[in-house]
Amino acid sequence: MDATAQTSSTEQPPPIAFKAETRQLLDILIHSLYTEREIFLRELISNASDALTRMDFELLTNREVHDPDVKLEIRLTADPETNTLTIQDNGIGMTAEEMVADLGTIAHSGAREFIQAAHESGQNLSDLIGQFGVGFYSAFMVAEWVKVTSRSYRKDAQAATWHCTGADTFTVEPAEMAERGTRVTIQLKEDAKEFVQEHRLREIVRVHSDFIPFPIYVGSGEQQANRQTALWRQTPREVEQKDYDEFYQQLTLDFEAPLAHAHMAVDAPVQMYAILFVPPGPERGMFSLRKQDGLKLYARKVLIQEYHRDLLPEYLQFIQGVVDSEDIPLNVSRESVQATRVMAHLKKLVTSKAVDMLKKLAEDDLERYSRFWEAYSRYLKQGVAIEQSEPEQLYPLLRFHTTEQPERWSSLDDYVASMKPDQKHIYYLLGDDDRSALHSPHLDVVRRYGYPVLLLTDPVDAFLLVRLTQYKDYPLSNVATAELALPNKAQEPGGDAQPALDEVSSQDLIERFKSRLGERVTDVRMTERLADSPARLVDPEGAPNQEMQRVYRLLNREFEPPKKVLELNPRHPILMRLGSLPVEDERNALVIEQIYEDALLIEGLHPDPASMILRIQKIIESALE
């Protein structure tokens, strides 16, 4: 007969009723809260670790205990022949009375009150069950029966065995056990035979309990299954760069080093440790260990969630890493964390550290930050667009091409440093790509002043500008608006250097354009805002601004942009020669159509650019006559 099952008499011990409706709560645990059955082993290892921690603390002040010099450890032993699994520790142990109190009462609370509270509140059970410490009972997800044999650390204590099949009762009887601690033996169900395979047990330890502070052994060997030392709990100055790179590789199976990392240890307002990484790119490789976004969340070095998404805002979800806290309040399954003030503090700390990590990368390594920006720019732009509290913290991370530096990335601070002394605005231009934007007629007037312009050619930029309207003391202004803020015309450099159409010729030309274009435009007028270009299109008064028009186009393909105002350059040679053509000359129509469609093309609004080919050929023929 197994020693763990021996009793002081040949009679079977009387069954003891649970002090709660065990069957109902066990059903909740097995079918509702735990999503993966392997979680039971994590819970039992965590309980064993807690028992060892209590024993370690007891030994600091009391050596008058049973087995005072034994090495504190956890052992997992499986028997494929009997389909049993044993988890044993040499921790604080329990007496028979403690077993009845601790294992016989689910969280020392009535199940009826719990279920009634859940029913009346209308909340999910997992939201209320945090007060019920019943992780031990997760063993019944895989168990036909569970037997717990334990001997307390007290020298005069007697060993006892607790036995339960998952029904409404359990038994407690004396047992023979020479060593101090607790041994949990599980008779596995037929569909749970995977948990007697040593390689499977080692895998579960690695995933869920790798950083338990006591050694875990699987089988009869002395090869430790867990690493025990958590890198994130070490002092940052003691950790070398290669250690971070190796840990990142173990975490992700990504053989390319991360672009940046941050290591943090905080004592207040909560106690936490974390290591954050910026992966080299947003795409996950075929063999990546990380299949989803989210940080690995630990509580006291016990894995709580493999992919926790609530510690970083949506726009920073590309960051990988681990967070470990002593203060996290857990629900019964450890698989979801209660939303509390502690979690709010953790999110604020982790988010702040992540942003600081990116700012440091931008300051320390321009080349690596350029790689980061090209890979993750849309995440940060999304952050500016949706961040409700402090979008300004992301502004220094933004990068743009400019008319002065079209080949390199410039920050807003770089732009401000390049501004002219009389410049009061940060100017930008929306476009489809940098090359076409650099040829935009809207740049004519700002080039005349020598003002730099941000080139915003990413579709997400339209969303960005909904929130980013000012940087420091400088408002952002779109150079494509008809009401562009510029110095007085009297101060405009080179404004009257070239001859222009007189008023009569200008009005005649305007009428020709209106007659030809009809309702395709809302108006035609002359402007002094053009230099090298013959014409441009601007929005009529009262129309949605260009930023919102682009947002509408991205969100709704059926959006029809408002008809534009065509502005003409009275000093451009093409228009001056066009004005000298007789009204009946057929070239009038060709040139007017081409000028208008050129303006559509540069704005990204032309519905069919190939349709211009025949007209262009006719214009060429006319030019060669």
Specify whether 445 is located in the same domain as 542: no
Task: Please state, rounded to an integer, the average pLDDT across all residues of the chain.
Answer: 87
CATH value at residue 566: 1.20.120.790
pLDDT at 5: 43
pLDDT at 126: 41
The dihedral region occupied by 107, where left means phi > 0, alpha psi between -120 and 50, and beta the remainder, is left
H/E segment holding residue 197: none
pLDDT at 361: 97
The backbone torsions φ and ψ at residue 75, rounded to the nearest 5 degrees and listed phi first, read: -125, 135
CA dist., res. 107 & res. 112, Å (int):
13
Q: Give the C-alpha distances (Å, rounded to integers) separating 174 from 51, 71, 161, 621.
A: 21, 26, 6, 109
State mean pLDDT over 510-514.
Answer: 96
Specify whether 213 is located in the same domain as 133: yes
Specify whether 214 is located in the same domain as 149: yes
Q: What band does 121 get if pLDDT is binned at 50, 70 and 90?
A: low
Residue 19 pLDDT > 70, yes or no?
no
Q: Give the C-alpha distances (Å, rounded to integers) separating 507 from 54, 498, 569.
A: 94, 19, 12
Specify whether 393 is located in the same domain as 541: no
Specify whether 41 is located in the same domain as 96: yes
Looking at 447, 464, 491, which one is the last position of a domain? 491
Specify whether 16 is located in the same domain as 150: yes
CA dihedral 507, 510, 512, 515 (to 10 degrees): -120
Specify whether 71 is located in the same domain as 180: yes
Q: Count how many domains the chain has.
A: 4
Specify whether 36 is located in the same domain as 166: yes
Decide if 373 is inside a domain: no
Q: What band does 110 get if pLDDT is binned at 50, 70 and 90?
A: very low
Residue 274 pLDDT > 50, yes or no?
yes
What is the SS3 assignment for 519? helix
pLDDT at 205: 94
State mean pLDDT over 474-478.
Answer: 94
Burial profile 279-291: b = 16 or more Cβ within 10 angstroms, e = fewer: bbbeebeeeeebe
State mean pLDDT over 87-97.
Answer: 96
What pLDDT, in 10s, does the model give residues 415-449?
999 999 999 999 999 988 898 899 999 999 899 89
State mean pLDDT over 187-201.
Answer: 96
pLDDT at 522: 95
Burial profile 517-545: b = 16 or more Cβ within 10 angstroms, e = fewer: beeebeebebbebbbebbbbbbbeeebeb
Q: Give the C-alpha distances (Å, rounded to integers) separating 50 from 56, 63, 89, 304, 323.
A: 10, 19, 10, 15, 20
State mean pLDDT over 38-51.
Answer: 90
CA dist., res. 295 & res. 292, Å (int):
9
Specify whether 548 is located in the same domain as 613: yes
> Based on the number of CB atoms within 10 Å of its own CB, is 607 exposed (0-12), middle (13-18) or buried (19 or more)?
exposed
Decide if 258 is inside a domain: yes
pLDDT at 37: 84
CA dist., res. 193 & res. 84, Å (int):
9
Q: What band does 128 get if pLDDT is binned at 50, 70 and 90?
A: very low
CA dihedral 192, 194, 200, 201 (to 10 degrees): 40
Whether the CA torsion 173, 174, 175, 179 is positive or negative: it is positive
Check if the beta carbon of residue 51 is closer than 8 Å to that of residue 91.
Answer: yes
Residue 389 pLDDT > 50, yes or no?
yes
What pLDDT, in 10s, does the model give residues 303-314?
888 899 999 999
Question: Number of H helices and number of E strands within the chain?
Answer: 18, 21
> Based on the number of CB atoms within 10 Å of its own CB, is 302 exposed (0-12), middle (13-18) or buried (19 or more)?
buried
Range of the domain at 361: 231-368
CA dihedral 136, 141, 143, 145 (to 10 degrees): 60
Q: Give the C-alpha distances (Å, rounded to integers) separating 371 from 280, 281, 361, 366, 606.
A: 8, 9, 11, 9, 33
pLDDT at 43: 87
Decide if 63 is inside a domain: yes
State mean pLDDT over 277-281.
Answer: 96
Decide if 135 is inside a domain: yes
**Between residues 3 and 534, the one the model is more confident about:** 534
Specify whether 177 is located in the same domain as 274: no
pLDDT at 130: 39
pTM, whole model, 2 decimals?
A: 0.73
Q: Give the C-alpha distances (Å, rounded to integers) separating 345 from 77, 154, 243, 390.
A: 40, 41, 28, 16
> Based on the number of CB atoms within 10 Å of its own CB, is 60 exposed (0-12), middle (13-18) or buried (19 or more)?
exposed
**Between residues 545 and 339, the one the model is more confident about:** 545
CATH value at residue 476: 3.40.50.11260
State mean pLDDT over 184-198.
Answer: 96
Specify whether 47 is located in the same domain as 184: yes
Q: What band does 549 get if pLDDT is binned at 50, 70 and 90?
A: confident
Decide if 379 is inside a domain: no
pLDDT at 105: 66
pLDDT at 33: 59
Assigned token pair, 97? 């009375």
pLDDT at 132: 44
Q: What band does 277 get if pLDDT is binned at 50, 70 and 90?
A: very high
State mean pLDDT over 507-520.
Answer: 95
Decide if 380 is inside a domain: no
pLDDT at 116: 56
pLDDT at 337: 67
Q: What band does 98 get if pLDDT is binned at 50, 70 and 90?
A: very high
Q: What band does 108 get if pLDDT is binned at 50, 70 and 90?
A: very low
Q: What band does 125 get if pLDDT is binned at 50, 70 and 90?
A: very low
pLDDT at 518: 95
Decide if 498 is inside a domain: no
CATH value at residue 34: 3.30.565.10
Closest CA to 4 of 236, 221, 159: 159
Residue 268 has a CB neighbour count (10 Å cut-off) of 7
CA dist., res. 50 & res. 36, Å (int):
22
Q: Which residues contact 607 (CB under 8 A, 6 or more apart)?
A: none
Percent of all residues in the chain with a pLDDT value above 70, rounded to a whole number = 86
Q: Which residues contact 153 (CB under 8 A, 6 or more apart)?
A: 55, 58, 65, 66, 67, 91, 92, 93, 180
Tell me which amino acid residue 275 is.
I
**Residues β-bridged to residue 410:** 400
Whether the CA torsion 63, 65, 68, 74 is positive or negative: it is negative
pLDDT at 419: 95
**Residues β-bridged to residue 475:** 470
Decide if 347 is inside a domain: yes
CA dist., res. 191 & res. 242, Å (int):
43
Specify whether 364 is located in the same domain as 398: no
Q: Give the C-alpha distances (Å, rounded to integers) separating 494 from 15, 489, 506, 536.
A: 102, 10, 20, 20
Residue 329 pLDDT > 80, yes or no?
no
What pLDDT, in 10s, does the model give residues 341-387?
888 999 999 999 999 999 999 999 999 999 999 999 999 999 999 88
Residue 456 pLDDT > 50, yes or no?
yes
